[in-house]
Amino acid sequence: MKTVDELRKLREEVRQMTRLREGEPEVRIVVAMGTCGIAAGARETLNALLQEIAARGLAGVSVSPVGCMGLCDREPIVEVNAHGGRTLYARVNAEKARRIVREHVEAGWVIEDWVTRN
């Protein structure tokens, strides 16, 4: 960072991401962040979810990191609690995370090809 304006912009981005984790959400997204998930790329998945939600200006959506879900062979795992149901997605990279926000969270369509059963 070289200017005060850049610092202010960063501060606002962090505030927006923090707001996504607070309140009573209509949609709750959970990302498994155990060591197996992190090794498989869950941190990038989490960041992509947060960025896509912020870019689309979606309100009422929370994103929470949690520990291991016990599905290590399917990491990164993303659970979406929305539209009256719970959906578990497997092997979610950043690109898939953005699509989940667009299609499942925003439009209400489950992406069946990525769903895993536990």
- DSSP conformation letters of 23-60: S--SEEEEEE-SHHHHHHTHHHHHHHHHHHHHHHT--S
- Structural domains of the chain ordered from first start: 4-114 (3.40.30.10)
The tokens describing 18, both together, are 């923090």
Q: For the chain, 118 residues long, give each residue's pLDDT as a single digit of tens.
A: 578 888 888 887 777 666 655 556 689 999 999 999 999 999 999 999 999 999 998 888 999 999 999 999 999 999 999 878 899 999 999 999 999 999 999 999 999 999 998 6
Supply the pTM of this predicted model: 0.78
Token reading at 116: 């895993």
